[in-house]
Chains A and B, each alone.
Chain A
Amino acid sequence: MIFKLERRVDDSRWMAYLSPILAGTLTLITGSILFWALGKDPLQTLYTFFIAPVSDLYGWTELGVKAAPIMLCALGLAVCYRGKVWNIGAEGQLLFGALVGGGVALQFLESDSAFALPLVLVAGALAGMAWAAIPALLKTHFNTNEILTTIMLNYIALNLLLFSVHGPLKDPGGFNFPESALFTEAVTLPLLLEDSRMHIGILFALFALVAVWVLLSKTFVGFQIKVLGLDTRAAHFAGFKERRLVWLALLLSGALAGLAGVCEVTGPIGQLVPQVSPGYGYAAIIVAFLGRLHPVGILLSSMLMALIYIGGELVQIELNLPLALTGLFQGMLLFFLLACDVLIAYRIRLSPRFSALRKPSSAALVNGADANLSTHSQ
């Protein structure tokens, strides 16, 4: 290898800001080559991908609709991951929240009570919380690995949803098709902007953003979670109650994911369907890390994630690019973003052998050191 990575003594401050720019540049360059090779105008394609989707107010509202559930899930996950609680179950918590919230919403088909919607939302959040309580209990009492339990609970939640829309919650007037009746106005989220789909769920997401920021940066509990994540033993020595922190992180993240789910079904979807989520809970894992587990970072990364989904659709519509290609491009962007972050903690060095060619004196030094090492090991 010509290059090698060398651990920095301290994380590079300016690399923290520079690495997304570097990743963006790399994406633009490789993307341009890719589109050019396919006979498309690179500039026009990149414009359609990144600019055209948000060139009008309507575009921004759609971006918000798409980003809100991802953001809610990712914020909760960030709290978990800061404490090294590996919750992979946002998807299941979202689905269970949607299912229970939707089930409650269906009880209000003939009511226009003002309490209906808050009740539905609270039911959804509590359901997500309850779903996260299962791995919390298993982890704190039986030391079960939460990665496994949360993943498995995703499938259980999905199958419960499928069972419900195929069975008990099926629309009686719907020719046996697997979906519930449409929710009434009373249990549908109000829109923030007429003629758009932007519902008040976006406000919940922004509120959660502030709350999570306060929790992580301004409270002692947040500090405890971070210490737990950085050094479990130090947290124990300090007398922090690990169990309580695990419970807190999982319940909070479950509630946020559940809220995301119930906002989807009472917002843009408007009924219970088999496909409530196109994998928001999984996308949120990427988004959480892309945002470096920081609320502001998550705001930006969830918007970016939403943008590349919408942009991917638009290049299909406007430029007839196949889906596989937009998927490839999206993957490339995420890869560059995460890969460039390695430069924050590491620096690139010319490997000794090659620097040896340039600087004989240092090479001798290195070789000498090698020789020393080998004699020691003998």
Chain B
Amino acid sequence: MKQEKKSLAQRFAKAAGVALALFMSAQSVTAAEPVKVGFVYVGPTGDAGWTYSHDKARKYVEEQLGDKVKTTYVESVAEGADAERVIRQLAKSGNDLIFTTSFGYMNPTLKVAKQFPKVKFEHASGYKRAKNVGTYFDRIYEGRYLTGVIAGKMTKSNIVGYVGSFPIPEVVRGIDAFTQGLRSVNPKAVVKVVWVSSWYDPAKEREAAETLILQGADIINQHTDSPGPIQAAQAKGVYAFGYHSDMSLYGKDAHLTAATHNWGPVYLEKVKSVMDGSWTSTDFWGGLASGATALAPLNPAIPEDVVKLVEERKQAIIDGKLHPFQGPVKDQSGAVKVPAGEVMSDEDLLSLNWYVEGVEGELPK
């Protein structure tokens, strides 16, 4: 009898202990609840390009933070009425931070953000912010400038082709920065642009590149999303630059380098700031210095002195001694738009809608 009682008490104590342990572990689970981060992509994650660059960064954040973070993504979300639903669904599903990675998501992001004041939003490439909506982009034009320097040294025909998507400031800025780099080492070289009116159309992009090659271009650059232009250059035996991410996979010999986005550190920073509660709505626009913009590995075909020159220019940009748009910057008519000794303001860069000297043809309006 006594024995039985004791065992009952023991059992009771044991049960209480287990319960306590369970309670404790439940507590520690809540304490270490991972921060949930959602991503909305405009295209498929794929092997290269814009969305790939974001997904690579998502994986980087997961790698760095391990089980302290849980990420979710939705790919190929159309920029119309669907975007708002997907963003809201991510907010509803308990994400603490949501990256919306295409310009067309700007207004949907703001609409959803209004209804979910506790969720933080980061929108790529837009200009509207709110208390819980920040924006970010990288100064990819700095990378463009460096590719221009390489092109200026590598071209023999002095004609460089450029496959453009849409004539919006972001794209024009890239063309102009590239041309500034090109002409800084080769004042005789010119840039020809073909617009394909699409962000992603492999066949059209490839055709555009082939047209440019037929017109004498021996280097192709692009502001589109597919490796089509690289493949065209590889097939025709000329050089090309990738964009968004390293595209050497698609044309080992043609691919000189690529101006790439390196969102990893940017995203890691944002996620960490949400974790420690220090997140605020900001407008991040970092370039080579912040590591957000980078060059892909250089093709071994680039001579050593050119590599050295590119490294010097890169360092000068990082140190703030060189700006791709430092005066004198002339437009196509030769009129000085930025006088010597000055650099173009961020405001002017953001609304840039004219070609610099050295770009051929007229900018579609």
Which A residues form the contact surface with B (CB < 8 A)?
Answer: 62, 65-66, 159, 162, 166-167, 174-179, 182, 195, 197, 264, 267-271, 273-278, 309-310, 313-314, 316-318, 320, 322-324
Complex Cα distance A275/B81, Å? 9
7 pairs of A and B residues whose beta carbons are closest in the complex: A268-B81, A278-B78, A275-B79, A275-B80, A316-B74, A323-B75, A176-B169
- Could you tell me if A264 and B80 are in contact, using CB atoms closer than 8 angstroms? yes
What residues on A are CB-neighbors of B79 within 8 Å? 273-275
Interface positions, chain B 53-108, Cβ under 8 Å from A, are 72-82, 84-86, 89-90, 93, 103-104, 107
What residues on A are CB-neighbors of B81 within 8 Å? 65-66, 197, 264, 267-269
A105 to chain B, nearest CB (A): 15
Instruction: Verify if B215 is at the interface (C-beta below 8 Å from A).
Output: no
Contact of A175 among B76, B93, B350 (CB under 8 A): B350
A378 to chain B, nearest CB (A): 54
Known pairs A166-B166, A270-B107, A276-B80; A175 contacts B127 (CB<8 A): yes
B40 to chain A, nearest CB (A): 10
A270 to chain B, nearest CB (A): 7
What residues on A are CB-neighbors of B197 within 8 Å? 159, 162
Contact of A273 among B44, B80, B169, B353 (CB under 8 A): B80
Known pairs A317-B74, A317-B90; A278 contacts B82 (CB<8 A): yes
What residues on B are CB-neighbors of A195 within 8 Å? 115
A328 to chain B, nearest CB (A): 14
Contact of B104 among A66, A275, A316 (CB under 8 A): A275
What residues on A are CB-neighbors of B364 within 8 Å? 166
Complex Cα distance A210/B119, Å? 43
Among residues of A, the one whose C-beta sits closest to the C-beta of B365 is A167
- Could you tell me if A323 and B76 are in contact, using CB atoms closer than 8 angstroms? yes
Instruction: Verify if B351 is at the interface (C-beta below 8 Å from A).
Output: yes
Can you give 8 A-B contacts (C-beta < 8 A)?
A: A65-B81, A162-B197, A166-B166, A176-B353, A178-B168, A182-B107, A197-B85, A270-B107
- Could you tell me if B72 and A317 are in contact, using CB atoms closer than 8 angstroms? yes
Known pairs A197-B84, A322-B75; A313 contacts B89 (CB<8 A): yes
Complex Cα distance A313/B74, Å? 7
Contact of A317 among B93, B115, B166, B167 (CB under 8 A): B93
What residues on B are CB-neighbors of A197 within 8 Å? 81, 84-85
Among residues of A, the one whose C-beta sits closest to the C-beta of B352 is A176
Complex Cα distance A174/B353, Å? 13
What residues on A are CB-neighbors of B86 within 8 Å? 313, 317
Complex Cα distance A276/B82, Å? 10
Known pairs A313-B86, A313-B89, A320-B72; A176 contacts B80 (CB<8 A): no
What residues on A are CB-neighbors of B77 within 8 Å? 313
What residues on A are CB-neighbors of B84 within 8 Å? 197, 268
Interface size class on chain B is 20 to 34
Complex Cα distance A161/B6, Å? 84
Complex Cα distance A62/B84, Å? 10
Complex Cα distance A227/B84, Å? 44
What residues on B are CB-neighbors of A309 within 8 Å? 82
- Could you tell me if A177 and B103 are in contact, using CB atoms closer than 8 angstroms? yes
Interface centre among A276, A323, A324 (most CB of B within 10 A): A323
Complex Cα distance A274/B166, Å? 11
Interface positions, chain B 317-365, Cβ under 8 Å from A, are 350-351, 353, 364-365
Complex Cα distance A276/B83, Å? 11
Complex Cα distance A267/B80, Å? 11
A330 to chain B, nearest CB (A): 13
What residues on A are CB-neighbors of B80 within 8 Å? 264, 268-269, 273, 275-278
Complex Cα distance A166/B77, Å? 21
- Could you tell me if B168 and A176 are in contact, using CB atoms closer than 8 angstroms? yes
Among residues of A, the one whose C-beta sits closest to the C-beta of B364 is A166
Complex Cα distance A275/B78, Å? 7
What residues on B are CB-neighbors of A276 within 8 Å? 80
Complex Cα distance A314/B195, Å? 36
Complex Cα distance A102/B75, Å? 28
A173 to chain B, nearest CB (A): 10
What residues on A are CB-neighbors of B76 within 8 Å? 323
A36 to chain B, nearest CB (A): 22
B334 to chain A, nearest CB (A): 24
Contact of B351 among A159, A167, A176, A269 (CB under 8 A): A176
Complex Cα distance A270/B127, Å? 18
Known pairs A269-B81, A270-B107, A274-B104; A177 contacts B168 (CB<8 A): yes
Q: Interface readout for B168-181 with A: 1 if CB under 8 Å, 0 if not?
A: 11000000000000
Complex Cα distance A305/B206, Å? 34
Complex Cα distance A310/B197, Å? 29
- Could you tell me if B104 and A273 are in contact, using CB atoms closer than 8 angstroms? yes
Complex Cα distance A50/B347, Å? 48
What residues on A are CB-neighbors of B166 within 8 Å? 166, 178
What residues on A are CB-neighbors of B73 within 8 Å? 316
What residues on B are CB-neighbors of A269 within 8 Å? 80-81
Among residues of A, the one whose C-beta sits closest to the C-beta of B103 is A177
Among residues of A, the one whose C-beta sits closest to the C-beta of B81 is A268
Among residues of A, the one whose C-beta sits closest to the C-beta of B79 is A275
- Could you tell me if B168 and A323 are in contact, using CB atoms closer than 8 angstroms? no
What residues on A are CB-neighbors of B169 within 8 Å? 175-177
- Could you tell me if A323 and B78 are in contact, using CB atoms closer than 8 angstroms? no
B190 to chain A, nearest CB (A): 24
Complex Cα distance A278/B81, Å? 9
Among residues of A, the one whose C-beta sits closest to the C-beta of B199 is A274
- Could you tell me if A314 and B89 are in contact, using CB atoms closer than 8 angstroms? yes
Complex Cα distance A209/B340, Å? 67
Among residues of B, the one whose C-beta sits closest to the C-beta of A168 is B365
Among residues of A, the one whose C-beta sits closest to the C-beta of B172 is A176
Complex Cα distance A277/B73, Å? 22
Complex Cα distance A264/B84, Å? 13
Among residues of A, the one whose C-beta sits closest to the C-beta of B169 is A176
Contact of A166 among B93, B103, B167 (CB under 8 A): B167
What residues on B are CB-neighbors of A273 within 8 Å? 79-80, 104
B143 to chain A, nearest CB (A): 21
Among residues of A, the one whose C-beta sits closest to the C-beta of B38 is A317
What residues on B are CB-neighbors of A166 within 8 Å? 166-168, 364
Q: Interface readout for B103-119 with A: 1 if CB under 8 Å, 0 if not?
A: 11001000000010000
Complex Cα distance A177/B74, Å? 24
What residues on B are CB-neighbors of A277 within 8 Å? 80
Complex Cα distance A316/B104, Å? 21
Complex Cα distance A167/B81, Å? 22
What residues on A are CB-neighbors of B167 within 8 Å? 166
Complex Cα distance A323/B73, Å? 10
Among residues of B, the one whose C-beta sits closest to the C-beta of A53 is B89
Among residues of A, the one whose C-beta sits closest to the C-beta of B80 is A275
Among residues of A, the one whose C-beta sits closest to the C-beta of B197 is A162
